[in-house]
Amino acid sequence: MQTRPLASLGRYTGPATLILSSLADGAKHGYALAKDIEQFAGVHLVPGTLYAALTRLVDQGLIEPVASDDERRRPYRITPAGAEALREQLSEQRRVANLGLRRLAGGTSS
Amino acid sequence: MKGSADRRAARLALLYPRRWRREYPDFVGVLAAELDEHPWRSRTDVIRAAIIERARAAGIIPTGPDDRARSGLALIYATLLPFTALVAGIWSQLRTGIGTHGRDTPPVVRAADLLLAFGTVAVFVSLAVVVPLVAAHSRGRSPDSGPKAGLSARGLLRPALILVGSIATLTAAGWAADRSGWYSPAAAALPKGGLGYPIALWARGAIAAITPAWVHPTMFGHMPTGELLASLVAPFAALAGALALLRLVGRLPLRKPGRTDIALALTIAGMMLISVAASVRWVLAHPTREGTSQLLARTDQLAPGHTGWGVAFLLLVLAGIAMIGTRRVLQGRRQPTEPGSGTSLDPDVGWVPESDGSGTGGLLALVLVEP
């Protein structure tokens, strides 16, 4: 069994999953990321947490900064490794979610 | 209003390391927009995150699973320095019987012997750690696999200069205190001449930094000018020196830990625990003139009980941090790495993802100077 890259981020696993999910449809800068995540997940990421998660994702090579003319708005994009890590993480979450839903419905667990 | 938020955000961003601020230039803008909506939540979140980032920059919080063992070593070595300084202070007090009258009683003798043994081991451990690192560095070959790879001499210059400045200031403070005529039982046994004199003056300055006058400020009013100056300047000089040492350790090109490193780490951790036990035993059992415990010593004595307890508590905190570093080294060593992934872990290891270490290295990072 391998530990998923996102799971190794500890308390930043949740924010990192949201960030990667947001970046999955294109590059975004910090402010746009926070707004997008708030819109699709209803989660408000405060800047300290948002950038801590961004830092760790960059360190792991799961996202990368995109060259920009505007120094105050640096966009980030997901890397192939990041896309794979997100796919693994979401699949695992779906597996757990399905299992929980089946158990709630009184079905058998697998 | 927006200009005000920008200024507040810029000030808060200064809490982060300079390198981090350069890499995330858009942070200030995002924070400024947030400060108006959630002022307190944003502030506390940023302060916490900045402390963790500084600890990561100092190398005492791992940047990833692969960095766990290396950062553990850095944490242990960073802890060893202030711990040894405190032990030296307690030992000198025990040897000179500061504020007490039972220097030759068994608890004192045993505690002094144990602390002396710790000091001796600490010196040898430091040599065993520093000599190979300096040798590797001077050959221009960094053995590091962590975030400090590619270390430049310039990065070491600033903390080295601060350290030298701290030593010079403490020595000058010791000289002023020595000439003032103020009696310091802890310094009474130090040499008054010869080659050891400059070291004695430095020790005198360092001892002035931990004067019980900080607990009983009325003592300041009785001090002659030299001792007063030393007492006021020495704590800051000692703190600056300790922080510079921490930065130097954080910037050392530590290699991935081998068996020798683990043995050294365990030795340090074990000796620290024994030293804490010896200190506490002394504080609890050392008889005073009145036959009471050190805890109840009169405040006009130069080593009131709570000073001893305070030092013992600091030792315990430092030893606890070193234990966490040791655990990290051991876990990091057992953690196999899959080439290319950097995150593959053996399920038998019982790996718990590192949250961020904010409860440990974060304490140290609170006071780290700008990188």
Residue B136 buriedness (CB in 10 A; 0-12 / 13-18 / 19+): middle
pLDDT at residue B191 in the model: 64
Q: pLDDT tens digit string along A13-43?
A: 899 999 999 999 999 999 899 999 999 999 9
Task: Please indicate if any CB of chain A lies within 8 Å of the CB of B42.
Answer: yes
Task: Please indicate if any CB of chain B lies within 8 Å of the CB of A8.
Answer: yes
Task: Please indicate if any CB of chain A lies within 8 Å of the CB of B120.
Answer: no
Percent of chain A whose predicted confidence (pLDDT) is above 70: 93
Amino acid (one-letter) located at A8: S
Task: Please indicate if any CB of chain A lies within 8 Å of the CB of B27.
Answer: yes
Tell me if the domain spanning A7-104 has CATH number 1.20.140.10.
Answer: no
State the Cα–Cα distance between residues B342 and A5, nearest whole angstrom.
8
pLDDT at residue B247 in the model: 73
Task: Please indicate if any CB of chain A lies within 8 Å of the CB of B355.
Answer: yes
pLDDT at residue A107 in the model: 61
Task: Please indicate if any CB of chain A lies within 8 Å of the CB of B347.
Answer: yes
Do B26 and A29 make contact, defined as CB atoms within 8 angstroms?
yes
pTM value > 0.80: no
For residue A30, list chain B residues with Cβ-Cβ distance below 8 A.
24, 26-27, 29-30
Q: Does ipTM come in above 0.90?
A: no
pLDDT at residue B133 in the model: 62
Of B46, B50, B351, the CB nearest to A3: B351
Do B47 and A34 make contact, defined as CB atoms within 8 angstroms?
no
Return the residue of A nearest to B39 by Cα: A46
For residue B5, list chain A residues with Cβ-Cβ distance below 8 A.
none
Of B41, B65, B341, the CB nearest to A46: B41
For residue A59, list chain B residues with Cβ-Cβ distance below 8 A.
63-64
Instruction: Using the structure block, give the residue that is written with the tokens 């766990």.
Output: B68
User: How far apart are the CA of B29 and the nearest CA of chain A, in angstroms?
Assistant: 7
Best probe of the A interface among B34, B47, B54, by most A CBs < 10 A, is B34
Do B353 and A60 make contact, defined as CB atoms within 8 angstroms?
no
Residues 6+ apart with CB under 8 A from A66: A27, A74, A75, A76, A77
Among B25-34, B94-103, B214-223, B280-289, name the one with the lowest average pLDDT.
B94-103
Among residues 67-86 of chain A, which lie with CB inside 8 Å of chain B?
A: 71-74
State the Cα–Cα distance between residues A78 and A60, nearest whole angstrom.
12
The average pLDDT across B284-301 equals: 46
- Detail the DSSP E strand segments found in B242-325: none
What SS3 class is residue B371?
A: coil
For chain A, the residue count is 110
Kindly state the DSSP code that residue B67 receives in the 8-state scheme. G
Provide the token pair at B233. 């300047």
- Delimit the domains of chain B by residue range: 2-54, 65-365
Among A50-64, A88-102, B307-321, B356-370, name the one with the lowest average pLDDT.
B356-370
Kindly state the DSSP code that residue B139 receives in the 8-state scheme. T
Q: pLDDT tens digit string along A49-86?
A: 999 999 999 988 999 999 887 777 889 999 999 999 99
State the Cα–Cα distance between residues A103 and A108, nearest whole angstrom.
6
The average pLDDT across B309-324 equals: 78
State the Cα–Cα distance between residues A60 and B90, nearest whole angstrom.
45
Do B64 and A72 make contact, defined as CB atoms within 8 angstroms?
no
Backbone angles phi, psi at B227, to 5 degrees: -70, -40
Q: pLDDT tens digit string along B133-169?
A: 666 666 655 444 444 444 556 667 888 888 899 989 9
Percent of chain B whose predicted confidence (pLDDT) is above 90: 6
